[in-house]
Amino acid sequence: VCFIGRSNVGKSSLIRALFSLSPEVEVRVSKTPGHTKKINFFKVGKYFTLVDMPGYGYRAPQDFVEMVEDYLQERHNLKRTFLLVDGVVGLQKTDHTAVEMLEEFGIPYVMVLTKIDRASRGLLLKNVLEIQEFVKGKTQGCFPQLFLVSSLEFSGVHLLRCFIVHVTGNLPAEEAGS
């Protein structure tokens, strides 16, 4: 699985929160937007690999487009891409570009709304409704369920962790329901 999103959307923070129960996995997080310059791979036991992409937009690496497009098109074992969107600012122009790329390549993806602890309830609701409307009307490859998370308060992190384990085939459907 891989995580993509704008610079400073919280990709590394979310990955660190997802691995909070696995202290052997070290995820570095920087306060500086655009800190992740390379594609980072995190091996989750022998089960799957989680990939942290550099952010697009502000301070993105110069070779970002080639790096990300090559990875997404050539990784046939990629089960799901998670597109992170900032819960405070909602969908931005650069996010629309990322969606167009994922749609064009036919890559199944999921939208994750980050930093929900920083948005007022009204703003959060507005952004959720806008994204749901966008997903319904303008996308084919996007999973219909939007995940809302806070890496700081761990809201939604467990549910997202379960979903990742499920899409990677590490949680049989029979067990999930019981």
Contacts of 19 (CB under 8 A, 6+ apart): 25, 27, 42
| Structural domain count of the chain | 1
Helix, strand, coil share of the chain (percent; to 5): 40, 15, 45
pLDDT at 68 over 90: no
> Euclidean distance between the first and final Cα of the chain, in Å?
25
> Does residue 125 sit in helix, strand or coil?
helix
Q: Is 48 helix (H, G, I), strand (E, B) or coil?
A: strand
DSSP-derived 3-state class of residue 49: strand
Residue 27 has pLDDT above 60, yes or no: no
What value does the mean pLDDT of the chain take? Answer: 86
- Give the pTM: 0.87
Residue 175 maps to a domain: no
DSSP assigned state of 106: T
Compute the distance between CA of residue 172 and CA of residue 79 in angstroms, rounded to an integer.
15
CATH number of the CATH domain containing 90? 3.40.50.300
Q: Is residue 177 part of a domain?
A: no
Residue 147 in any domain: the answer is: yes
Q: Which domain holds residue 166?
A: 2-170
Q: Is the dihedral of CA 169, 83, 131, 159 positive or negative?
A: positive
The 10s digit of each residue's pLDDT in 84-113 is 999 999 999 999 989 999 999 999 999 999
C-alpha span between 91 and 56 (Å, rounded): 13
| pLDDT 10s digits, 30-50 | 455 545 557 888 888 778 888
For the stretch 138-154, pLDDT in tens is: 999 999 999 999 999 99
